[in-house]
C-alpha cells in the first residue's frame, strides 16, 4: 500500500464567530501577519504539502479572502466544515445547545479528506518551527510493528506557556523515561506564583504547586489515519453519555479521548519536547510580548517581512 504524505489539520472553526474581532485575526507580525500565517509557513518549511482548515461553513468566503493570496501556489489547501448538527445517525442536537462539540468533532469534520497520517493544531497559537519538524519527522518515520499506530504529541515547558496577566488551562503531562506519555491531566486556572506555578483544585480554598519545568500539551498532535475510526466510535459513546454530563456545554475533546485511551492501556503516545517558546494572546495584555517576539524573529532572519513575499 502506498504511504500517504502527512497533512496538517488546523482547527479554525472559532474564527468565524465575530469576524474581524477575534484574537485569531489580530495582526501581530511586523507586516500584519496573524499567528496562523506562521503556522502554515513553518509547516510548509517542515515538509507538509497539504493543509485542511476546519472552519464554519458561513465563514468560508471571508476565510478564503484571508488566505488565498498568501497560499496560492505555495501549498494545497482544503476546507472542512464543523457543524453542530454533524452527528452520527440516531442523535440530534439537544434543545438549546449552541456550543460547538469540541476539538474531537472538529477533527472528525475532516474525516473524508484524511487518508493518511495527520497533525492537528490550534489556529491561534504560535508553536515555533521546531514543532513542525518534529511532528513531520514522526509522521513520516519508517518503523513498523505496533509502533506504527503510535500517536505523537509535542510538549512545551509550562513556564514558557504562562501569561503574566491571568490564568490559563493546560494539559500537564507525565512522561516515562524514553519519551512515552504516561498521563495527561487537564488543569484549569494555572497561574505563575514566584518560582513555581499554582492552581486551585477546589475553587480557591487551597492551592497545589506545579514546577515551571512541567511538560504541557498545547494541542499539537500527530495521529495515524486509524485514529479517525477511534474518534468516530468515541463520539458515539460521548453522545450516549451526554445526559449524565451537561447537554448544553459538554465537549468532546482530543486530550480527553487520548487520556481515556492511556488509562485503559489502549494508546501509545510519544511525547516530543519542543525548545521553541510557545506564544499566544490569552489575555489582551499578552499582545505586546508576542509582537516583540515576532519582530525579533525577523531581525534574527528566521522569517521574512512580509512573511509571504
pLDDT in tens, 123-133: 999 999 999 99
Which residue segment(s) compose the domain that 230 sits in?
Answer: 7-150+217-268+276-299
Is residue 182, in this structure, part of any structural domain at all?
no
Name the β-bridge partners of 79.
53
Is residue 223, in this structure, part of any structural domain at all?
yes
CB 294 within 8 A of CB 28: yes
Is residue 165, in this structure, part of any structural domain at all?
no
User: What mean pLDDT do residues 282-294 have?
Assistant: 90
Which pLDDT score, from 0 to 100, does residue 119 have? 98
Burial of 44 (0-12, 13-18, 19+ CB in 10 A): middle
Q: Is the pLDDT of residue 159 over 80?
A: yes
**Sign, CA torsion 151/107/28/47:** positive
Q: Among the listed ranges 18-22, 54-58, 121-125, 191-195, which one has the minimum average pLDDT value? A: 18-22
Is residue 179, in this structure, part of any structural domain at all?
no
C-alpha cell recorded at residue 303 = 522569517
Alpha-carbon radius of gyration of the chain:
19
Q: Among the listed ranges 57-61, 84-88, 219-223, which one has the minimum average pLDDT value? A: 57-61
The band of 148, judged by pLDDT with boundaries at 50, 70 and 90, is low
Vertex 134: Cα angle to 129 and 140 (nearest 5): 125
Dist. CA 160–CA 236, nearest whole Å: 36
CB 285 within 8 A of CB 164: yes
Q: Average pLDDT of the chain?
A: 91
Q: Is the pLDDT of residue 140 over 90?
A: yes
Dist. CA 55–CA 82, nearest whole Å: 6
Helices (DSSP H) in the chain: which residue ranges?
Answer: 35-46, 60-71, 103-108, 129-139, 227-240, 254-264, 287-299
If we measure between CA atoms, which residue out of 38, 3, 46, 39 comes closest to residue 220? 39
C-alpha cell recorded at residue 11 = 482547527
User: What mean pLDDT do residues 42-52 have?
Assistant: 97
Q: Over the stretch 82-98, which tens digit does the pLDDT of each residue have?
A: 999 999 999 999 999 99
Dist. CA 259–CA 306, nearest whole Å: 40
Give the range with max mean pLDDT: 11-20, 88-97, 147-156, 197-206.
Answer: 88-97
Is residue 42, in this structure, part of any structural domain at all?
yes
User: What mean pLDDT do residues 151-171 have?
Assistant: 93
Q: Over the stretch 193-215, which tens digit does the pLDDT of each residue have?
A: 999 999 998 888 899 999 999 99
SS3 per-residue string spanning 189-254: EEEEECCEEEECCCCCCCCEEECCCCEEEEEEEEECCCHHHHHHHHHHHHHHCHHHCCCCCCCCCH
Q: Is the pLDDT of residue 143 over 90?
A: no
Is residue 184, in this structure, part of any structural domain at all?
no
Dist. CA 258–CA 151, nearest whole Å: 9
Give me the torsion for CA of 147, 153, 13, 170, rounded to 10°: 140
Q: Over the stretch 234-281, which tens digit does the pLDDT of each residue have?
A: 999 999 999 999 999 999 999 989 988 888 888 899 999 999 999 988
Q: What SS3 state is found at 279?
A: strand
Dist. CA 57–CA 214, nearest whole Å: 38
Give me the torsion for CA of 284, 290, 292, 295, rounded to 10°: -130
* CATH label of the domain that carries residue 81: 3.90.550.10
CA atoms within 13 A on the CB side of 242: 20
Is residue 187, in this structure, part of any structural domain at all?
no
What is the domain count for the chain?
1
Percent of the chain with pLDDT over 70: 94
Which pLDDT score, from 0 to 100, does residue 145 have? 46
Other residues' Cβ atoms within 10 Å of the Cβ of residue 98 = 8
Is residue 201, in this structure, part of any structural domain at all?
no
Which pLDDT score, from 0 to 100, does residue 2 have? 58
Residue with the larger pLDDT of the pair 242 and 146: 242
**Sign, CA torsion 69/308/33/139:** positive
Which pLDDT score, from 0 to 100, does residue 197 have? 97
Amino acid at each position: 500500500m502506498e504511504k500517504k504524505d502527512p497533512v496538517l489539520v488546523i482547527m479554525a472553526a472559532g474564527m468565524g464567530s465575530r469576524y474581524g474581532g477575534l484574537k485569531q485575526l489580530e495582526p501581530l507580525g511586523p507586516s500584519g501577519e496573524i499567528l496562523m500565517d506562521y503556522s502554515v509557513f513553518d509547516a510548509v518549511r517542515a515538509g507538509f504539502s497539504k493543509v485542511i482548515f476546519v472552519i464554519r461553513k458561513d465563514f468560508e468566503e471571508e476565510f478564503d479572502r484571508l488566505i488565498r493570496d498568501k497560499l496560492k501556489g505555495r501549498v494545497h489547501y482544503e476546507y472542512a466544515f464543523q457543524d453542530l448538527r454533524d452527528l452520527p445517525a440516531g442523535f440530534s442536537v439537544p434543545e438549546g445547545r449552541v456550543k460547538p462539540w469540541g476539538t474531537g468533532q472538529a477533527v472528525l469534520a475532516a474525516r473524508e479528506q484524511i487518508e493518511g497520517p495527520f497533525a492537528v493544531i490550534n489556529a491561534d497559537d504560535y508553536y515555533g518551527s521546531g514543532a513542525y519538524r518534529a511532528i513531520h519527522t514522526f509522521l513520516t518515520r519508517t518503523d513498523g510493528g505496533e509502533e506504527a499506530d503510535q500517536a505523537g504529541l509535542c510538549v512545551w515547558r509550562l513556564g514558557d506557556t504562562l501569561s503574566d496577566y491571568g490564568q490559563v488551562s493546560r494539559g500537564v503531562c507525565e512522561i516515562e523515561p524514553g519519551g512515552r506519555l504516561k498521563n495527561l491531566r487537564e488543569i484549569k486556572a494555572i497561574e505563575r506564583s514566584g518560582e513555581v506555578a499554582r492552581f486551585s483544585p477546589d475553587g480557591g480554598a487551597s492551592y497545589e504547586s506545579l514546577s515551571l519545568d512541567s511538560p504541557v500539551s498545547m494541542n499539537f498532535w500527530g495521529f495515524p489515519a486509524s485514529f479517525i475510526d477511534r474518534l468516530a466510535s468515541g463520539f458515539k459513546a460521548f453522545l450516549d453519555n451526554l445526559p449524565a454530563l451537561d447537554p448544553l456545554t459538554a465537549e468532546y475533546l482530543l486530550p480527553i479521548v487520548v487520556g481515556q485511551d492511556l488509562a485503559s492501556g489502549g494508546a501509545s503516545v510519544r511525547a516530543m519536547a519542543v525548545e521553541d517558546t510557545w506564544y499566544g494572546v490569552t489575555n489582551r495584555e499578552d499582545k505586546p510580548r508576542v509582537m516583540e517576539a515576532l519582530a525579533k524573529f525577523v531581525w534574527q532572519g528566521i522569517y521574512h517581512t512580509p512573511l509571504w513575499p
